[in-house]
A and B are shown apart, each in its own frame.
Chain A
Amino acid sequence: DIQMTQSPPSLSTSVGDRVTITCRASQSIRTYLNWYQQKPGKAPDLLIYGASNLQSGVPSRFSGSGSGTDFTLTISSLQPEDSATYYCQQSSSKPLTFGGGTKVEIK
């Protein structure tokens, strides 16, 4: 199974700050990497697919990059509504696996 490791597990930062979340795969997954946002008590929402493609309707302050084993989700200017947990997920092979999540809190 491909292990996905996210860092940091949590962060607390201010509105308007730039936020970077990293995700590392235990083996190369090329760009078969998706990012989801989950708010408490809600289902996940797709943000990014194929490592860098922004899902329709997602604000342009979100962006993704990376390939192989190292990936990044960036929020260019954090907004209050971005308080959530973010998960990366690989779709290179079964079983589909997720990172442990990064909880983003607003100071």
Chain B
Amino acid sequence: EVQLVESGGDLIQPGRSLRLSCTASGFTFGDYALNWFRQAPGKGLEWVGVIRGKAYGGATEYAASVKGRFTISRDDSKSIAYLQMNSLKTEDTAVYYCARRNVWNYFYYYMDIWGKGTTVTVSS
């Protein structure tokens, strides 16, 4: 079965760091880009960042709200992607989802597989 499973969510104090994991199974992980999204309580979906597959050297991009604080990495040998979150703020409180990016007709990108999410609560 093709699936993604996030882990690592926790209650954590502002200013601290946390690392989330996204473990893949059922597909060749290294062939795909992996996006992270988040959803604050009662709010909509927000893109956090992306890490591309091995064909693109694992390049990353980030939303402005997390750039410089969050880092995405991947270990293709373990089929795991990571979201390292530093200098956490209360506004980072959200459910964090990882999602596989698929492509159609070379340029049409979409997220076809999502994990169930992991909850991060930033509070003193």
A100 interface residue, CB < 8 Å from B? yes
Q: Is the CB of B108 within 8 A of A49?
A: yes
Interface centre among B114, B116, B117 (most CB of A within 10 A): B114
* B116/A42 in contact, CB under 8 A: yes
Interface membership of A74, Cβ < 8 A: no
Please tell me which one of the listed residues B44, B63, B97, B99 contacts residue A87 in the complex, with CB atoms under 8 A apart: B44
* Consensus secondary structure, chain A interface: loop
User: Are A43's CB and B117's CB within 8 A?
Assistant: yes
Given known A50-B105, A87-B45, A89-B45, contact A34–B110 (CB-CB < 8 A): yes
Is A11 in the interface zone, CB < 8 Å from B? no
Interface size grouping (class) on chain B:
20 to 34
Q: B116 near A43 (CB under 8 angstroms)?
A: yes
Asked whether A44 lies within 8 Å of B45 as measured between CB atoms, the reply is: yes
| B97 & A50 in contact (Cβ 8 Å cutoff) | no
Complex: chain B residue closest to A53, CB-CB: B104
| CB contact between B61 and one of A89, A94, A98 (< 8 Å): that residue | A94
A96/B35 in contact, CB under 8 A: yes
Q: Residues of A with Cβ closer than 8 Å to B?
A: 31-32, 34, 36, 38, 42-46, 49-50, 53, 55, 87, 89, 91, 94-101
Which residues of B approach A to under 8 Å, CB–CB? 35, 44-47, 50, 61, 63-64, 97, 99, 104-105, 107-112, 114-117
What 7 A-B pairs come out closest when comparing CB atoms?
A49-B110, A43-B114, A96-B47, A50-B108, A91-B109, A98-B45, A34-B110
